[in-house]
Amino acid sequence: MPERPDYPALIAGHTVIIEMINSGDAALPVLSHLLRVSQRSLGAAGMAFVEYGPARGRIIAASGSAEWALGRAVPLDDPATGRLRTGARVQEMRVDALSWELARQPDGSDLRRMAVARAEIGGVMIGSLHAFYPDGGEDNCTAEHRALLTYVASCVAHMYGDQTGLPIHGDAAVLAALADGLAVTDRDGLVRLWNPAATQITGRGADQVLNRPLPIPLPPPGQVLDHRLPDGRWIKITSGELPGAIALRVVTFRDITDQFRVDQETDLFVAVTSHELRTPVTVIKGYADTLTDHWDSLSEPDRRQAARVIGQRAGELARLVDRLLSAATDAGPVGGAPPVPFDLVEALRAAVADLPAHLRRRLVLALPADLPKALGDRASLATVLTELATNSDKYSPADSPVELRADADRRTVAFRVSDRGVGIRPEHVERAFERFWQGESGDRRRYPGAGLGLYLVRRIVERQNGWVSLRPRPGGGTVAEVRLPRG
């Protein structure tokens, strides 16, 4: 760690950030640039920012040697996380104190120490900013470094306060207090805090609510509940444990009357299902009717072609039904088998063999023969690769290659599917994993799909203690990366 932060680098970097904000940039692009600026200023080898929700955190931005961990889920029950949530605003700790191993294996170098600062709003932690350093001795973080790290964490919190694209995840319940109703209840379920937005939403003042039972239903921690108020309006309620407190619950709620109906999810599922099933069913019926009504007048090649199309569309239909049912019931083939060591390269090659012929022809493989084994569910890997490769096929020109590469570090085995297609906007790299989410909607949609593939991929991979992330590819296109523990 340098003796003093590089303040000229910080000032120059902040100038660029202000220009980005003034030009309309927000959320992840600005946050990612801020991490890169902070890394240079602090002399760190890598930076990461973790956004916390009521159930867990997730790394939403990273730079330098920590960039590989982008998209990694962070457990709230980790001792080091608990220490950060309850201790000093800025702390130093050994990286090996983390059970989730954020930066233990970045780019072949050892990062041994980290300085961490809480990002807070109103005393509530919304995220944590991590600066990583190699084991260069026992030099402690200087007061200037602590001050700078605190300042950067406050800048991030300010970005959340503006609510311009942050939070990334909709379940960041503690953050919703900014514009949403906020209540805090004690171990007896009595209200101890009631903010002005709560009064505006419910029509109940603090004098009517404090030291009394919560006047709205309380969902289990980490879950969401839609509730109808006596005046007919609907609110969405989220609850979670209050960071740094014992037996306190934070409850946030917002008015969703103008945005959703109570049966929104059902309506959305029915709409998506009917839209996505219509095309393959229509094609199958059309070719089947042609064979039935014109069998004698068709040539043998025409009959075979019709049969091939029916088979292809039937396969697409079966896969779509599986995805819809899995997403609707939270069940199905989503990597639920106990993890075991398996040959990732062999599994990837087998999965490639089952892809449609036109997609196999587009694939460019870079799969080393000496890759160590991965720990996970081999059978589910075909689903993961199929979804990622199909996305690349759908969103990139037909004459461009789709690359499949694999490698490993000391703790993970990874593979990446890369294309040269339309790319993904930085602010969409996390939203793309939401169920039914589409970058385009309605009649503007240029690409078919139910918005379920990446949602299922993340579920499959995370059940195997791995993680998946998306990022824009330099020069255009998208990179999807999956990391699994080494076997």
Q: Which residues pair with 93 in a beta bridge?
A: 114
Which among 183, 89, 79 is positioned nearest to 127, based on CA atoms?
89
- Quick: pLDDT tens for 299-322: 998 888 888 888 877 876 776 676
Locate tokens 């202000």: which residue?
18
Query: Could you tell me the domains of the chain?
Result: 7-162 (3.30.450.40), 179-255 (3.30.450.20), 264-329 (1.10.287.130), 340-485 (3.30.565.10)
Tell me the pLDDT tens digit for each residue of 165-217: 787 876 664 444 456 788 888 888 899 888 778 888 898 988 999 999 999 99
pTM for the whole thing? 0.61
Whole-Å CA distances, 228 to 117, 182, 190, 196, 385: 39, 17, 21, 20, 42
Question: Percent of the chain, pLDDT > 70?
Answer: 79
C-alpha span between 238 and 258 (Å, rounded): 18
Cis bond upstream, residue 167 (ω within 30): yes
- Chain segment 383-404, per-residue pLDDT in tens: 889 889 988 998 899 889 999 9
Q: Does residue 277 register a pLDDT over 80?
A: no
Nearest CA to 204 among 216, 221, 220, 186? 216
Integer-rounded Cα Rg, in Å, for the chain is 25
Over residues 328-369, the pLDDT tens digits come to 555 444 445 678 999 999 999 998 987 878 888 999 999 998
Q: Helix, strand or coil for residue 349?
A: helix
Please tell me the predicted confidence (pLDDT) of residue 170: 62
- Residue 148 pLDDT > 80, yes or no? yes
- Shortest CA distance to 36 belongs to which of 57, 51, 17? 17
Q: Give residue 447's pLDDT band: very low, low, confident or very high (50, 70, 90).
A: very low
Residue 261 pLDDT level (bands cut at 50, 70, 90)? very low
Confidence of residue 408 (pLDDT cuts 50, 70, 90): very high
Task: Look at residue 459 and tell me whether its pLDDT is greater than 70.
Answer: yes
Amino acid occupying residue 284: I
Q: Give the span between the Cα atoms of 45 and 64, in whole angstroms.
A: 6
Please, which residues bridge with residue 48 across strands?
Answer: 62, 130
- Given a contact cutoff of 8 angstroms between Cβ atoms, the answer to whether 430 and 449 are in contact is no
Confidence of residue 159 (pLDDT cuts 50, 70, 90): confident
